[in-house]
Amino acid sequence: MRKSLLLLLAVTFPCFSLTSLQFLKERTTPAEEPVLSEVISIINNQPPINGHTLQSIHALLRQQSPHLSEAVINKVLTTLKCLDTYHIEHNPVLTIIDYSLPSSEKRLWVFDLSTNQLLFHTYVSHGIRSGTLLTQYFSNQYDSKASSIGVYKTEQAYYGREGLSLRLAGLDQGFNDNAIGRYLVMHSGWYVDENFIKKYGRAGRSWGCPALPMQLAKPIIDTIKDNSLMVIYYPSDNWFLKSKFLNCDNFSPVRRSAIQTVEENLLPPKHETRDGILFLDLNKNNQREENEPIVVITADNYLRFFHRPPPLDRMLRRQIDKIEYIALSQDEFITLLGNTQEPLSDFSHFYFVIPEVKRLRGYYITEMKLMNLGKIKAISKRDDNGENPGTDDYLISFDSRPTATLKTTAHFIRWLGL
């Protein structure tokens, strides 16, 4: 019976592996289908991997992490099987990231397969070009600022511009094999702490790196460094069908080349849209330069004035004295100036911020600095705005320096946006 069933499936289906069958099961066949369930049970009878059977690993993942979905577990099991098939060595520590979950939920797990323990379960960020609350877009391209799915091995830990960091080697060709060159590393991020997530509704975003909560980054990195396995999951059809770590029973270069790498609908949008923010045109050249400050207010004041959550895509990427700041748009600035319900008694709620680059541990890091320009005496609309028709410029008078013009820019600012 079993031989006939296997022969039938080998002729009927173009790919025959645990991953492919599970993929078909998830999409086309009810879970209680007896024939498909029988085939999957046959395939699951694999030799031990690092002293464990796939069934025992499945039981560990299911028992220790009830919030880890069956779809993720099946892909992880297939990955372990294929790594063994390809004789790729790794230690028994396993990290799983499920990017099908929102960043407001704990979606990173670390297991020790040798002791059958769940070691960590916590939050993890995604790239700023991968979505906001949900992770929707992925890329393997340089400077994409997006996350990459697939199978990784961890390398050495080191101290860099983000503090203790962990190099990640992407093993999935076409999906994450540029990770080293893109400097995708695991590091800490103050914007991934639970208090931040509860306050703002989601985690902040990195430039593609899986950033961890500050208090957990060191113990997690120390645990998973040096040749452990990491699987970053997302329900991508092409990854399911093309990754050699999900199709080792039927992996053909011809079949592989016939399938696109990352689906077009999963690539980040080619053009970013940004809100225009305000800066002081101190250089009087009608364009923002790095030494020219932007106008911000505290995130708490933003909530108080506008009665809506602060926009994280305009939050400074660095706190100042553990306080978050939001860059103001022109409309918001005008609203504050004309607010009759809570008029500004003075302009002390406005701050001017510039980046300050410092050298630390051999790396250049960017910190944010409040620029002391003196007390604001008056703010008035500039009448002759022939340089930028259709926009409003404002003149700001200070008590101890010349009047400066406030202008709008929508250009990318590397230290702005979470």
- What is the mean pLDDT of the segment spanning 299-304? 96
- What is the mean pLDDT of the segment spanning 367-396? 79
Choosing from 266, 300, 326, the residue where a domain stops is 266
271 occurs within a structural domain: no
More confident residue, 153 or 412: 153
| Helix/strand/coil for 251 | coil
418 occurs within a structural domain: no
Question: What pLDDT score does 39 carry?
Answer: 36
Question: What pLDDT score does 361 carry?
Answer: 74
- Count Cα neighbours of 182 within 13 Å in the Cβ-side half-sphere: 27
What pTM value is reported for the model? 0.83
Split at pLDDT 50, 70, 90, the class of 35 is very low
64 and 24 co-located in one domain: no
For 72, 116, 268, 275, 323, the CA distances from 317, given in Å and listed in that order, are: 32, 38, 21, 16, 11
17 occurs within a structural domain: yes
417 occurs within a structural domain: no
Choosing from 266, 298, 330, the residue where a domain stops is 266
328 occurs within a structural domain: yes
- What whole-number distance in Å separates Cα of residue 202 and Cα of residue 313? 12
164 and 281 co-located in one domain: no
Question: What pLDDT score does 267 carry?
Answer: 78
pLDDT tens across 166-184, in order?
999 999 999 999 999 999 9
How many other C-beta atoms lie within 10 A of the C-beta of residue 7? 10
Q: Residue 68 carries which side chain, given as an amino acid letter?
A: L
| 358 has a pLDDT exceeding 70 | yes
pLDDT tens across 198-225, in order?
999 999 999 999 999 999 999 999 999 9
337 occurs within a structural domain: yes
179 and 314 co-located in one domain: no
Question: What pLDDT score does 391 carry?
Answer: 62
Question: What pLDDT score does 366 carry?
Answer: 86
Q: Residue 142 carries which side chain, given as an amino acid letter?
A: Y
> Residue 170 pairs with which residues in a beta bridge?
152
104 and 17 co-located in one domain: no
| 266 has a pLDDT exceeding 70 | yes
112 occurs within a structural domain: yes
Question: What pLDDT score does 380 carry?
Answer: 85
CATH number at residue 222: 2.40.440.10
| Helix/strand/coil for 34 | helix
The region, left, alpha or beta by phi > 0 then psi within -120 to 50, assigned to residue 197 is: alpha
Indicate the DSSP class of residue 312: G
112 and 157 co-located in one domain: yes
| 233 has a pLDDT exceeding 90 | yes
Average confidence score pLDDT of the chain = 84
Among candidate residues 350, 358, 365, 366, the one with its CA nearest the CA of residue 416 = 366
- What is the mean pLDDT of the segment spanning 390-396? 78
184 and 333 co-located in one domain: no
User: Domain count of the chain?
Assistant: 3
12 and 132 co-located in one domain: no
Cβ-contact 188, 163 below 8 angstroms: yes
pLDDT tens across 70-124, in order?
999 999 999 999 999 999 999 999 999 999 999 999 999 999 999 999 999 999 9
| 146 has a pLDDT exceeding 90 | yes
Task: Determine the structural domain holding residue 359 and report its residue range.
Answer: 277-409
pLDDT above 90 covers a percentage of the chain that reads 62
Choosing from 219, 239, 266, the residue where a domain stops is 266
How many other C-beta atoms lie within 10 A of the C-beta of residue 335? 13
* DSSP codes joined into one string, 362-394: TEEEEEEEE-----EEEEEE-S---SSTTS--E
Estimate the crossing angle of helix 18-28 against helix 34-43, to 10 degrees: 160
12 and 136 co-located in one domain: no
207 and 324 co-located in one domain: no
Cβ-contact 232, 150 below 8 angstroms: yes
Long-range contacts from 320-326, C-beta under 8 angstroms, 24+ separation: 320/353, 320/368, 320/369, 320/370, 323/298, 323/299, 324/298, 324/299, 325/296, 325/297, 325/298, 325/299, 325/351, 325/353, 325/368, 326/296, 326/297, 326/298, 326/299, 326/302
Split at pLDDT 50, 70, 90, the class of 348 is confident
300 and 378 co-located in one domain: yes
For 63, 150, 198, 370, 403, the CA distances from 354, given in Å and listed in that order, are: 50, 38, 28, 7, 18
102 occurs within a structural domain: yes
168 and 262 co-located in one domain: yes
Q: Where are the beta strands (DSSP E) in 142-214?
A: 150-160, 163-170, 185-188, 211-212
More confident residue, 384 or 195: 195
228 and 155 co-located in one domain: yes
